[in-house]
Structure 1
Amino acid sequence: MIELKNLSKTLNGEKVLDSVSLKLEKGEIFGLLGRNGSGKTTILRLIQQIVLPDEGEVLFENISMMEHPLVKRKVVYMPVQNPFYERYSYRELVKILKSLYPDFDVTYSNELMNRYAIPETKKYRELSTGLKKQFSLIMAFAIRPAVILLDEPTDGIDAVTRHDLLQLMIDEVAQRETTIFITSHRLEDIERICSRIGFLENSTLTNVMDMDSLKEDYIKIQAVFEEDVHLRLRERKISILEYTGVFYTLLLQREDEESKNWLRSLNPKVWNQLPVNLEEVFIAKFGGKRRW
């Protein structure tokens, strides 16, 4: 469907992306994770050709998007903020988008606007943050693209609206096999809807894996020791999720028998092995340099 081949980009003298490659399949929801400033938005902008790569290329069904710009009609980018929409009402925007995207589905967009009770006569700038997010997502789906790029789509909205947006994404993928590429700091959202994820760190894409594999590859251990072992854990480079006194919550790769055996050699008074969630893996992966 969409393939990124060895994408590299330098911005303001800093290498933001270094030879990033990824292939997105039809009908999947892929979550891109990383710290602030890691380059997540830059990847979305490169796919949409808003900025061009220094090296590498973006292919849509093996067609270069740079050499065949009309292919961009099949890919829609929903940024965190959409200043282009600001001056228009829904009805005005439908006319514009219909002229730009021949497959724009007015009936579908009308249905969703009515479902979520979004005013059709108000200007986009007059809507609340939650309604703006819903409005933008409805427009993106109504274009009927093959791929939708979403940058923090649930940021700054309430729980009910978040639930509606996530369900809309799931329904769209199930019914039309739309491919969604999403960045979000709400890891519970990523965990709920994504089939695969990848981590962006040090300008490269790492640990691309199925969500199910993530939970199978890591384990969480709650242990209570007779003394403070914090420094010894640091020396062993064992990920500490939380600790209070001699009570520790640790994250290990499931196959890391060496670390498990070493921890057991400390004769913990309590040892509980538990399943992990995405947030715990993210903290261990990206928070270690800050917390240890």
Structure 2
Amino acid sequence: MRVVDLTKHLHKKPILDGISIEINLGEITGLIGRNGSGKTTLFRTMTHLYQKEQGDVFIEEQSLYKYPKLREKIFYLDENFHFLSNQKPKRIARYYQEFYSNFDMEKYISLMTKYELNQDFKISQYSKGNQALYKMILAFSCRATYYLFDEPFDGLDMIVKKKVLSLLLHEVSFNQCGVMISSHNLIELESLIDHAIILHQGKIYKDFDLDQVKEVSKKYQMVFQKKEVPGLIKQNCQIIQVQGRVLIGIFDKMTDDLYEEILALDPVLFDEVPLTLEDIFASQFTNESDYQLFH
């Protein structure tokens, strides 16, 4: 699925500004951004819940806007739409059968049984964890090609979360669907995703393959002889944290020559430490005004 130059205004204010991204089959993409960056608006605009100002969404090289039937290839359940909560699972399934021609009722019933969800209860009577699990069952029973999940693990206990994750990873691997997940929990997201997109003020700030970034970008903890940051470090490193005299920073590209130049400064400490998705996100929005050196 390709999103091309998608633009959306709300109350005459630009919320999405020329968004172009791809969601690949068999992969999980993480959508990352601060509150208000446009993540939910992007999902709603991609799925026609909001009307776009410009741009397009292509599935199998066909425009979603020209061929509305293609919408059944995308599953997105907006958290603000609660019309399902007072319904029982069987009625909800019949509703989704009308929209998704490939809806798999056998799979739906089998998963409801496997995870012991009472089909005589209304969805609102389920615990928060079971509601999240139910939404995942409903999603994959629709047999869509692409799935958009907005904070699907938020507030779930460990037991339910493992069930949700197991179902998600099985579907991506077995059916080779494409998934995009927005989440504030970057530690959790890192263990799932193949690709990451950072959204900032309605624009794509960074679009990257996580493993490829980790191959070239490196995180170091550093202490230098003098109580100031050497110019060489300022030019080549994004400092994300200061602990006393210890600097922690990310080098976008650590070359052998740069490494030798830094060692020539005779640092007290210069050790590589594991780089995380949270670090990469922090490095995009941290500047010197965010901390006080050697306070």
TM-score (norm 2): 0.89
Pairwise CA distance, 1:75? 0.8
What's the secondary structure of 2:191's corresponding residue? helix
Residues 126-275 of structure 1 correspond to what in structure 2 (within 5 A)?
Answer: 126-229=125-228, 236=235, 238-255=237-254, 263-264=262-263, 266-275=265-274
Code of the residue aligned with 1:19 in structure 2: it is: G
**Is 1:114 equivalent to 2:113 in the alignment?**
yes
Residues 11-30 of structure 1 correspond to what in structure 2 (within 5 A)?
Answer: 11-30=10-29
- Give the direction of change, closer, same or farther, for the CA distance of 1:38–1:227 in structure 2 (3 Å limit): same
- Give the direction of change, closer, same or farther, for the CA distance of 1:160–1:263 in structure 2 (3 Å limit): farther
Q: How many residues align?
A: 291
Tell me which moved more, 132-141 or 7-16.
7-16
Aligned partners of 2:118 and 2:29: how far apart in 1?
31
What are the superposed Cα offsets for residues 241-269 of structure 1, whole Å, 9 maximum, x if unpaired? 33221122211112477875675455321
Aligned partners of 2:8 and 2:80: how far apart in 1?
23
Aligned partners of 2:42 and 2:15: how far apart in 1?
9
Query: Structure 2 regions of 5+ residues with no counterpart?
Result: none
Aligned partners of 2:153 and 2:265: how far apart in 1?
44
Q: Pairwise CA RMSD of aligned residues? A: 2.4
Pairwise CA distance, 1:132? 1.0
Pairwise CA distance, 1:31? 1.2
Tell me which moved more, 137-146 or 85-94.
85-94
Pairwise CA distance, 1:237? 7.9
Pairwise CA distance, 1:173? 1.1
Aligned partners of 2:54 and 2:83: how far apart in 1?
29
Aligned partners of 2:289 and 2:105: how far apart in 1?
49
Aligned partners of 1:290 and 1:88: how far apart in 2?
51
What's the secondary structure of 2:83's corresponding residue? helix
**4+ long deviations beyond 3 Å:** 230-238, 255-266, 287-290
Query: Structure 1 regions of 5+ residues with no counterpart?
Result: none
What's the secondary structure of 1:193's corresponding residue? coil
2:73 corresponds to which residue? Answer: 74
- Give the direction of change, closer, same or farther, for the CA distance of 1:22–1:111 in structure 2 (3 Å limit): same
Aligned partners of 1:130 and 1:217: how far apart in 2?
39
Code of the residue aligned with 1:121 in structure 2: it is: D
- Give the direction of change, closer, same or farther, for the CA distance of 1:200–1:275 in structure 2 (3 Å limit): same
What's the secondary structure of 1:243's corresponding residue? strand
Sequence identity percentage: 26
Whether contact under 8 Å (1:35, 1:286) holds in the other structure is no
Aligned partners of 1:213 and 1:236: how far apart in 2?
22
What are the superposed Cα offsets for residues 193-242 of structure 1, whole Å, 9 maximum, x if unpaired? 21111111242213322121121131111122334336979965842333
Whether contact under 8 Å (1:38, 1:202) holds in the other structure is yes
- Give the direction of change, closer, same or farther, for the CA distance of 1:237–1:85 in structure 2 (3 Å limit): farther
Aligned partners of 2:288 and 2:128: how far apart in 1?
34
What's the secondary structure of 1:84's corresponding residue? coil
Pairwise CA distance, 1:80? 3.4
- Give the direction of change, closer, same or farther, for the CA distance of 1:288–1:139 in structure 2 (3 Å limit): farther
Code of the residue aligned with 2:194 in structure 1: it is: S
- Give the direction of change, closer, same or farther, for the CA distance of 1:197–1:80 in structure 2 (3 Å limit): same
Pairwise CA distance, 1:96? 1.7
1:60 corresponds to which residue? Answer: 59
Tell me which moved more, 93-102 or 64-73.
93-102
Whether contact under 8 Å (2:239, 2:286) holds in the other structure is no
**Is 1:34 equivalent to 2:38 in the alignment?**
no
1:8 corresponds to which residue? Answer: 7
Aligned partners of 1:94 and 1:289: how far apart in 2?
53
- Give the direction of change, closer, same or farther, for the CA distance of 1:289–1:106 in structure 2 (3 Å limit): farther
What's the secondary structure of 2:90's corresponding residue? helix
Aligned partners of 2:232 and 2:161: how far apart in 1?
38
Whether contact under 8 Å (2:237, 2:252) holds in the other structure is no
Aligned partners of 1:135 and 1:280: how far apart in 2?
33
- Give the direction of change, closer, same or farther, for the CA distance of 1:205–1:117 in structure 2 (3 Å limit): same
What are the superposed Cα offsets for residues 106-163 of structure 1, whole Å, 9 maximum, x if unpaired? 1111222222222211111122211111111110100100111111111111122222
Pairwise CA distance, 1:81? 4.7
Aligned partners of 2:232 and 2:118: how far apart in 1?
56
